[in-house]
Structure 1
Amino acid sequence: MWTDPRPTAEMPQLFERADDVISFAGGLPDLDLLPLEEISAQLSRLVRVGGRVALQYSTPHVATSLVPAITDLMAREGGRTTARNLVPTGGSQMGLLAVGLSLAEPGETVLCQTPAYPGAAAAFRTAGLTLRAVPEDAHGLDPEGLRDTVLRLTAEGRTTRLLYCNPTFQNPTGATLSAERRVRLMEVAQELGLLIIEDNPYGLLGFDGRTTPTLQGLDPERVVYLGTFSKVFAPGLRCGWIAAPEHLADALRRTTEVMTLSPSPLAQAALATFHARTGWTGLIDGYRAAYRERRDLMSDALESALGRGGDWHWERPCGGFYLWLRHRDGADTARFAAPAAAHGVSFVPGSHFGIDGEHADALRLCFSNAPKERIAEGVARLAAAFRDGTSG
């Protein structure tokens, strides 16, 4: 396989747990909200009645029964698709690699909003692509800076056709690109002939219940949309989708078939059954409320432990899983990792979200799965680690 000669982005060990460690590292959903008895009964009936189909190989298509569940989710943010445009994946991470392998040639440049999800950087580099950051301003990804970057790369003889972004409740910052900025971004993308890769795991997790129109909804022919059930249902099913312009769907489908041979009929059937019987609204509303409560607990604890106007700056996010702390004096937050471990708390240093060493002065805290009763304790441990790391 052709790969970038540079090391891939390091994937931190986000999901490992140790005794008495309060983890603010991995982006895990709160599965206490799932109606497990109901899901168990549905799965039992699926296997009993249709097990010979649900446990067999399948074709590389989204099951017909699952299409309404996907179109329902996408429509809540203004997205639209059909069965012909859908490609099944084992979650967005698989979709990212499939996009990199299918839609660009080795050596080409993929533009990235930064700080960026490290799994995206790793997937694109594994596909042999070169990453380049897109300029941002106070309002997020800058369309005019995007144009300047593409024109400069073109003048240097570099081929640039893809822009990757996570515009809603971004991982790791929690920021959302405004509706006005999205319209301008799509105008510039059309002018430059760019295909946009929109990664949207968190878009329905706004704490006030409001949504922002997806880029895919603005221009379905210019956007390859990565969706996943991992954040609005559960990650253990490893089920997601790509909504692609129809002329690209077959190439993506061929790649995903090589990667997995077939999607999981059982996972697709389980999700389709849940949606048909229950719908998404109740579960999504429950997730929003739970994450809003944890966001408030963490934000309040940070203000109490660190104060405002000191060494650390952060914004209270309006949705998603994460808080992004930045050190005002530019300290490399990796220096606090060992003291944090000694105090029994974990986080992800900002350098994991850069594509060329940037963002080392920040760190990401995940509140979505932290026990509510231990969030304040975890933040107090983190503040003690900051003191130790500074004095040391």
Structure 2
Amino acid sequence: MWTTTGPAAEMPRLFERGNDVISFSGGLPDLDVLPLEAISGQLSRLVRLGGRFAFQYATPHVSTALIPAITDLMAREGAGAAPENLVPTAGSQMGLLAVALGIATPGETVLCQSPAYPGATAAFRTAGLRLCAVPGDADGMAPDGLRETVLRLRAEGHTARLLYCNPTFHNPTGRTLPAAHRVRLLEVCQELDLLVIEDNPYGLLSFDGQCTPALQGTAPDRVVYLGTFSKVFAPGLRCGWIAAPARLARTLRTTTEVIALSPSALAQAALTAFHQRAGWTDLIDTYRRAYRERCALMADALEDKLGTSGPWMWERPDGGFYIWLRHRDGGDTGRFTRAATEHGVSFVPGGHFGVDGEHSDALRLSFSHVPKQRIAEGVARLAAALREGDAR
């Protein structure tokens, strides 16, 4: 159902690209790093030998053969789940909607960090849920702010039992919640009996190769973990999973079956074939190097074209896809979109990431898919658009 309790559930147009537009909008992975020749051979063999099964309907379970590939990924962040508690999805976006429809009740409140991933807020609003932003600090979501917010909502008669977070290389800010912060946050969730929805598409994409432990690994009975192959392999396969507490796995499996009827047996088999032959380490390391280089190019160009003491401020992330710019004097960054279009560059205005109209003074830049040789040019175009927009 479409909610009437807040703004319309709307996604920004992230993947549209024009002729000479340099797009900093969509968080697309750099698929140039994929070993396509090897994958082509694997797919050919898969279709030739097992096509009748790969192209058929499948049961709403993660295939037994794919479980080691998921276990491998989760273990790198200190997480894990029993096979019977893994629920297949067509990417974590489907997982968000499945959790919203399967676990929550229309009208109840979902707590979330702000700014928030628009796909999550759209999924929750589509399911008829209310959103409430939790106060943050320099490190991210504030545990004390979470406690105060939950107690206030409950005193006002609202149901508040779900917490959504994207704690590692957060979309859109690129920040990672420190380990000590995570411990305190989970302590508050234990105290207030909150169920955590951990959305983790970028957790393995650290530039230095180090992983921050996932919340699920610390509190598996309190965390619903959303995983995806979109960022560590490729989004076109539309394949992911939910690692659910045992008490919720059956409900979520039923919900995903209603949404999609069947997971893609072909996608699961393709991922299985790749993992069995190559594992994840080399591919993930290659992705990390590619994004580290692109991020450095963008951050250096921003310093060169915008300076570090002007109206715009940002932080260099340690991983992920994004740099988050904020205007020191406030104002709606949507006013820059026309000038950006005229200069042939695109970004996502910060208002898309607000829960209740906040963050209009910011904008998100994605460096993950832009050709390296065009990043500096794109930032130059952006800087010209921002100066022009400020002058209007």
TM class by shorter-chain length? over 0.9
2:30 corresponds to: 30
1:299 corresponds to: 299
**Correspondence list, 1:105-184, <5 A:** 105-184=105-184
Specify the SS of the correspondent of 2:162: strand
The two structures have a TM-score, normalised by structure 2, of 0.99
CA–CA distance in 1 between the matches of 2:326 and 2:175? 14
1:344 corresponds to: 344
Specify the SS of the correspondent of 1:242: strand
CA–CA distance in 2 between the matches of 1:240 and 1:179? 25
Say if 1:164 and 1:199, in contact at 8 Å, map to a contact too: yes
1:288 corresponds to: 288
Counterpart of 1:188 in structure 2: which amino acid? V
Query: 1:138: how far off?
Result: 1.4
Query: 1:9: how far off?
Result: 3.8
CA–CA distance in 2 between the matches of 1:101 and 1:386? 40
Query: 1:153: how far off?
Result: 0.5
- Is residue 2:188 matched to residue 1:203? no
2:264 corresponds to: 264
- Is residue 2:44 matched to residue 1:44? yes
- Quote the RMSD (CA, aligned, Å): 0.7
CA–CA distance in 1 between the matches of 2:105 and 2:358? 26
Specify the SS of the correspondent of 1:305: helix
1:366 corresponds to: 366
The two structures have a TM-score, normalised by structure 1, of 0.99
Say if 1:2 and 1:106, in contact at 8 Å, map to a contact too: no
CA–CA distance in 1 between the matches of 2:105 and 2:2? 10
Query: 1:2: how far off?
Result: 6.0
CA deviation string 1:323-361 (max 9, x = no partner):
000000002100000000000000000000001000000
**Correspondence list, 1:49-68, <5 A:** 49-68=49-68
Query: 1:7: how far off?
Result: 3.4
**Correspondence list, 1:202-241, <5 A:** 202-241=202-241
Specify the SS of the correspondent of 2:364: strand
Specify the SS of the correspondent of 2:197: strand
Counterpart of 2:234 in structure 1: which amino acid? A
Query: 1:11: how far off?
Result: 1.1
CA–CA distance in 2 between the matches of 1:98 and 1:71? 21
CA–CA distance in 2 between the matches of 1:344 and 1:2? 35
Say if 1:196 and 1:223, in contact at 8 Å, map to a contact too: yes
Gaps of 5+ in 2: none
CA deviation string 1:284-319 (max 9, x = no partner):
000000000000000000000000111000000000
Specify the SS of the correspondent of 1:241: strand
Say if 1:4 and 1:127, in contact at 8 Å, map to a contact too: no
**Correspondence list, 1:93-108, <5 A:** 93-108=93-108
